[in-house]
Amino acid sequence: MADEPEVVLYTDGACSGNPGPGGWAFVMRHLPSGKELERSGGAENTTNNRMELQAVVEGLSTLKRSTTVRIVSDSAYVLNGLSSWIKSWKRNGWKRKEGSKMVEVKNVDLWKRLDELVAEHEVEFSKIKGHSGHPENERCDEMAVAEWHKFK
């Protein structure tokens, strides 16, 4: 990325059972002003990977103009998907190889939306270790867990 990010988007997803009730959350920080936005939501029957993706989709959806964004996540699924797998999925009509056959990418609806959103911005990715005391990641986890508890 040529420029320093204007926005840092911290995201996390959580699920009780997989599938089961789940939650997503993000903390978005606008670096020039220091302003922060927090949001969270959930679903009664979902997977952890869907909630991880939903958190990034929801965060990027709040941006009103093209900007430089650093996405900070503990999800290897999201970060590997965005930085590498998505290129071949798109080339193969949103299919991936499973054994000797091609099958639809899991969570294709969210991946397609995320692909659209990422194309609107200049995005870089940072992987962090989950549950390691990172303040924004811990906050996202707390909010996401609170969301799935609403379904218990």
Catalytic residues: 12-13, 52, 74, 131, 141
Half-sphere exposure of 35 (CA within 13 A, CB side): 5
Closest CA to 13 of 150, 130, 134: 130
CA distance 51 to 141: 11
CA distances from 65 to 51, 62, 108, 112, 122 (A): 24, 9, 25, 19, 11
Name residues whose C-beta falls within 8 Å of residue 128's C-beta, 6 or more positions apart in sequence: 72, 73, 74, 134, 137
101-104 vs 95-98, strand pairing mode: antiparallel
**H or E element in which residue 97 lies:** strand 95-98
